[in-house]
A and B are shown apart, each in its own frame.
Chain A
Amino acid sequence: MVVGTVESGRADALFRALADPTRRDILSVVLRDAHSVSDLARRYPISFAAVHKHVGALERAGLVTKTRRGREQRVRGDLATLRSAHRLLDDLEALWRGRVDRIEQVLAHPTEGAPE
């Protein structure tokens, strides 16, 4: 996929994390306010382990961060990362504008070697 070529690994984790409705719900909760995993687990009819796993996926995507407070870890959402998902579309447009510029150069110099 062309979107976010430069950050394809990051995009992969981001889309994977956002593709699940429970994870999106958890994200919306912790964007409002930090919660412990136990707090979160009480909100959903799924096991603590399952919630923990969802939080892990969100964390790998950079969508949430964990901070330790006493004995428990608090999970907080990262709005900047969520917004970066929206910026991928802008990136796609910029990518194609760049491609069109490079196509012009290839058309002008059909037999040159690859740039850079």
Chain B
Amino acid sequence: MTVTSVVRDAEAKTMTITARFDAPIGRVWQIWSDPRQLERWWGPPGYPATVTEHDLAPGGTVNYSMTGPDGDRHGGWWRVRAVDPPQTLEFEDGFAAADGTPSPHTPTAVIRVALSEPAGGGTHMTITTTWASDEAMKQMLAAGTDTGMTAAVGQIDELLGLPARA
């Protein structure tokens, strides 16, 4: 498995995914720094991404759009917070309308990418997603952890006579 671990932490509101690639660190950095390579993996299957702006400098912007199988368009943006090639990249990630305008009501997340060279060769990539402490997101994260559902959803299940969820 290339993905070596996935850790969800509701307290810290993070999800951390670690992967190992059989390629040198400079090569793995390119999948972030080269917009043409980024386009090939960022969008889910059937939703190819087109990167229209790509400025990997502090304060810089990355804009992209994805076109779905029904011609539906989905926009997204990054605001770069920190960059230190070929080791770290940190950016705020958000939804945008089809025309690229950031959507004001959707939660944003900060994504931190850390590349390192483990003993034995290859590259480790750690992706840490941290959500803004907006209330809806807190609910969602607490609900998504293994420790259980939010109190609200737990109560709803109880009220409806549904079995408790693990």
A interface residues, Cβ below 8 angstroms from B: 1-3, 5-6, 8-9, 11-12, 15-16, 18-19, 21, 24, 28, 31-32, 79, 82-83, 85-86, 88-90, 92-93, 95-107, 110, 112, 114-116
Contacts and interface: CB of A to CB of B under 8 A. Distances in A.
B57 interface: no
For the residues of B in contact with A, the DSSP-based class is mixed
B82 interface: no
Given A106-B37, A107-B23, A114-B48, A82 B141 contact: no
Nearest to A107: B23
B40 A115 contact: yes
Nearest to B127: A96
B129 A86 contact: no
A70 to B, nearest CB: 26
A114 B66 CA distance: 13
Interface residues of B, number: 59
A71 to B, nearest CB: 28
A21 to B, nearest CB: 8
Interface string B2-32: 1100101000000101010111000110110
B136 interface: yes
Contacts of B160: 31-32, 79
Interface in B70-120: 74, 76, 93-95, 103, 105-109, 111
A5 B39 contact: no
B136 A18 contact: yes
A112 B139 CA distance: 41
B46 interface: yes
A104 B105 contact: no
